[in-house]
């Protein structure tokens, strides 16, 4: 009889322990900009299920299977998955925190850790400066983060400064985020370009020869420019000036001759317009005189005028 009572007394205790174990929470890790699905911890609900982070995010009940959303900013990007799980799309840094999934009045506590990996590029220039950063958002800043390079012993904090990238920085780098007993790892691969070989140039001669065949080593520095003495530059400048003057003279003479030729042609044209035009005249044979039909009386010639008599 005593044993039966003992067993009967411990049954509620065992059931409560199982209820507590079933309500144990989980830690979820989500990267900024990605999607995360948080499991509630219960396969099904009888009356209702709701997700809460400070305020209501989403609720579904058997009376109305249409999800109703609360005033939480996460609600616009959240939906129910598998009837009880919470799915958040396009995770933001502000989404971290403690979440509660209530299934028929039984709470299930969960934690969401949000992280982001900032890398300038997967391929770094040789000798360039680069920074690897892993940002983590967690409740009470309890999460720990560190960088570690595979096949290497170095460990760093949430930020790594590669002041001069070289071949030793090539490989897989891991961002490790740990919260209590849970750990999440994000791997990235870093490549570094090979250094560009410097071009080989022939050695410069110690004594530079000028155009006259002499050495400019013994000349003062203020009298030598680009390996030539100052008077050579003066001669080059004078020669260039003479060439420019000759070109200008040739252009002026050419234009003047052209102008004179045009004027001469214009005057010649005017003279030709003033001369009379000559036409071809044909020589015609004269006709024979007509024979006289009768002899005409010739008129007597006029008498000569006599001078007036003088008294």
- Note the pLDDT of residue 3: 39
- Note the pLDDT of residue 195: 83
Please give, one letter per residue, the 3-state secondary structure of 9-43: HHHHHHHHHHHHHHCCCCEEEEECCCCEEECCCCC
- Note the pLDDT of residue 22: 42
Supply the DSSP symbol for 164: S
- Note the pLDDT of residue 282: 56
Q: Is the dihedral of CA 232, 233, 237, 243 positive or negative?
A: positive
Length of the chain counted residue by residue: 311
How many Å apart are CA 80 and CA 58, to the nearest integer?
A: 8
- Note the pLDDT of residue 212: 47
Task: Give kind and range of the element (H or E) at residue 230.
Answer: helix 230-274
The answer to whether the pTM exceeds 0.75 is no
- Note the pLDDT of residue 271: 78
Q: Enumerate residue ranges in the chain where pLDDT < 70.
A: 1-24, 153-154, 198-231, 275-311
User: Distances from the Cα of 83 to the Cαs of 22, 24, 51, 128, 193, in angstroms?
Assistant: 18, 19, 12, 51, 50
235-241: list long-range contacts, CB under 8 Å, 24+ apart: none
How many Å apart are CA 192 and CA 258, to the nearest integer?
A: 71
Query: What does the longest C-alpha to C-alpha distance in the chain come to?
Result: 223
- Note the pLDDT of residue 8: 31
């Amino acid at each position: 009889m005593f044993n039966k009572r003992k067993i009967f007394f411990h049954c509620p205790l065992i059931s409560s322990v199982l209820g507590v174990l079933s309500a144990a929470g989980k830690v979820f890790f989500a990267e900024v900009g990605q999607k995360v699905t948080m499991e509630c911890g219960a396969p099904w609900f009888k009356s209702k299920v709701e997700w809460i982070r400070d305020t209501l995010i989403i609720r579904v009940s058997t009376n109305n299977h249409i999800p109703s959303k609360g005033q939480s900013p996460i609600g616009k990007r959240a939906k129910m998955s598998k009837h009880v799980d919470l799915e958040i799309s396009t995770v933001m840094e502000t989404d971290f925190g403690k979440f509660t999934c209530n299934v028929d009045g039984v709470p299930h506590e969960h934690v969401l850790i949000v992280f982001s990996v900032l890398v300038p590029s997967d391929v770094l220039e040789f000798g360039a400066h680069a920074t690897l950063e892993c940002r983590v958002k967690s409740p009470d800043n309890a999460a720990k983060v560190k960088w570690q390079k595979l096949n290497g012993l170095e460990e760093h904090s949430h930020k790594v400064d590669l002041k001069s990238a070289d071949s030793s920085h090539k490989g897989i780098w891991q961002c490790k985020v740990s919260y209590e007993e849970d750990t999440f790892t994000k791997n990235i691969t870093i490549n570094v370009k090979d250094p560009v070989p410097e071009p080989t140039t022939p050695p410069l001669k110690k004594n530079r020869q000028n155009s006259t065949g002499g050495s400019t080593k013994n000349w003062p520095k203020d009298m030598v420019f680009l390996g030539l003495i100052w008077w050579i530059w003066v001669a080059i400048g004078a020669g260039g000036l003479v060439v420019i003057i000759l070109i200008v003279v040739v252009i002026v003479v050419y234009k003047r001759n052209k102008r004179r030729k045009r004027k001469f042609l214009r005057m010649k044209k005017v003279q030709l317009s003033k001369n009379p035009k000559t036409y071809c005249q044909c020589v015609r044979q004269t006709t024979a005189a007509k024979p006289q039909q009768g002899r005409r009386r010739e008129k007597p010639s006029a008498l000569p005028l006599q001078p007036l008599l003088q008294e």
